[in-house]
Structure 1
Amino acid sequence: MLIRTEAPADILPIDSLLKAVFDTEAEAKLVMKLRENGNRTLSLVACSDEGEVVGHLLFSPVTVDGQDANWQGLAPLAVKPEYQRQGVGLALMEEAKSILAELGYPVTVVLGHSDYYPKVGFVKASEHGLRCSWPVPDEAFMVLELIPGSLAETVGLVEYCSEFSDM
C-alpha cells in the first residue's frame, strides 16, 4: 500500500470513495467545497498495489475562540469497505501526524468514534478545556497534540471552516 498526497487525478476517485462509504453525499460535497475554497491543508490517499484509491483523509483549519492557532481538523477519513479493519486508516493517520508536525501544525481535532481515534493518540478534548461548536457527545470530540506543549493554556470553543455549516 502506498500513502501519498492527493493529486488532481485523485479527485474523482476520492469523490466516488466518499459517496460509497458514507450514507449521504454530504462528505463528498464537503471535500469538494473545502478543496474549491482553498481550505484543504492536507489531503492524503492510500492506494492499493494496483494503484486504486482505497482510503482518504483530509485536514482543514479550525479556530479556537475565533483565533487562528494553526490547528487542524480531521474530516473526513474514509476507507473502502473491503479494505477496512486492515490498518489503512491508521496508516493514513500516522503519515498525516508526521507531515502535519513537520509542517508546523501543532494540534488536530476530530469529531469521531471514541473507540477508533484513541488508537492514534486522540483524547477527549474536554480534558484540555476544549469544546466543539456543535452539540456532540463529550467522548466524540477529541484532540491530538502533534507538537509537544502546544495544548498548554489553550482552551475554548473549537470551530471548523464555514463549509462544515453547509452540511
Structure 2
Amino acid sequence: MLIRVEIPVDAPGIDQLLRSAFPSEAEADLVHQLREDGLLTLGVVATDDEGGVIGYVAFSPVDLEGEDRQWVGLAPVAVAEAYRRQGIAQALIYEGLDALNEFGYAAVVVLGDPAYYGRLGFQNAAAAQLHCRWPDTEQAFQVYPLADNVLESSSGLVEYSAPFNRF
C-alpha cells in the first residue's frame, strides 16, 4: 500500500471508491464538483499494489466569518470495504494534516464522529466558539489547529465552499 497526494489519473478510481463507500452518490458528486470548481485544496489517496485507489481523503477551503484564514475542511474520507479497520483512514488523515501544516494552513475542521476524530487530535469546535451552518452539529463539528494559538483569535461561523450546500 502507498499513501500519496492524488494525481489526475486517480480521479476515476476516487470516483468509483466514493460511489461504492457511501449509500448515495453525494460524496462522489461533491468531490467531482470541488475538483471542477478548483476548490480541492488537497486530496490524499491510498493505493494497492496494482495502483488501484483503496482510500481517499479530501480537504477544501472554508471561510471563518466570511474571511479566508487558510483553514480547510476535511470531507469526505473513504476506505474500500475490504481494507477497513486497518488504520488506512487514520494514515490518510495524518498524511493530509502533515502536508497542510507544511503548506502553512492554520486549521482543519471536520463534521464527524467525535470519538474517532478526538483520537486523532481534533477538538470540539463549539468549545472554541466555532460553529457551522448545519443545525444540531455541536458535538460533531470539530477543529484541528495546525498553527500555534490559532484558536485564541478565531471564533464564529465556519462556512464550507458552495458545493457543500448543493448535496
Structures share fold, TM-score greater than 0.5: yes
Find the residue that maps to 1:63 and give its secondary structure.
Answer: strand
Q: CA deviation at 1:136?
A: 3.2
**Contact persistence 2:74–2:108 (CA under 8 A):** yes
Q: Map residues 151-162 of structure 1 onto 2, 5 A cutoff.
A: 151-162=151-162
Matched to 1:146, the amino acid is L
Q: CA deviation at 1:141?
A: 0.4
Matched to 2:113, the amino acid is H
1:11, 1:52 → 2: CA distance?
A: 11
Q: CA deviation at 1:130?
A: 0.1
Q: Which residue of 1 aligns with 2:73?
A: 73
When structure 1 is superposed on structure 2, of 55-64 and 113-122 the one drifting more is 113-122
**Contact persistence 2:79–2:89 (CA under 8 A):** yes
**Contact persistence 2:111–2:137 (CA under 8 A):** no
Q: CA deviation at 1:102?
A: 0.4
Task: Give the % identical residues.
Answer: 47
- What TM-score does the superposition give when structure 2 sets the normalisation length? 0.97
Matched to 2:22, the amino acid is F
| CA deviation profile, 1:51-107 (whole Å, cap 9, x unmatched) | 221100100000111111110000100011111110000001111111000000010
Q: List alignment gaps of at least 5 residues for structure 1.
A: none
Find the residue that maps to 1:144 and give its secondary structure.
Answer: strand
Q: CA deviation at 1:153?
A: 1.8
Q: CA RMSD in A?
A: 0.9
Q: Which residue of 2 aligns with 1:53?
A: 53
1:121, 1:48 → 2: CA distance?
A: 27
2:99, 2:137 → 1: CA distance?
A: 29
Q: Which residue of 1 aligns with 2:106?
A: 106
- What TM-score does the superposition give when structure 1 sets the normalisation length? 0.97
Structure 1 runs (4+) deviating above 3 angstroms are: none
Q: List alignment gaps of at least 5 residues for structure 2.
A: none
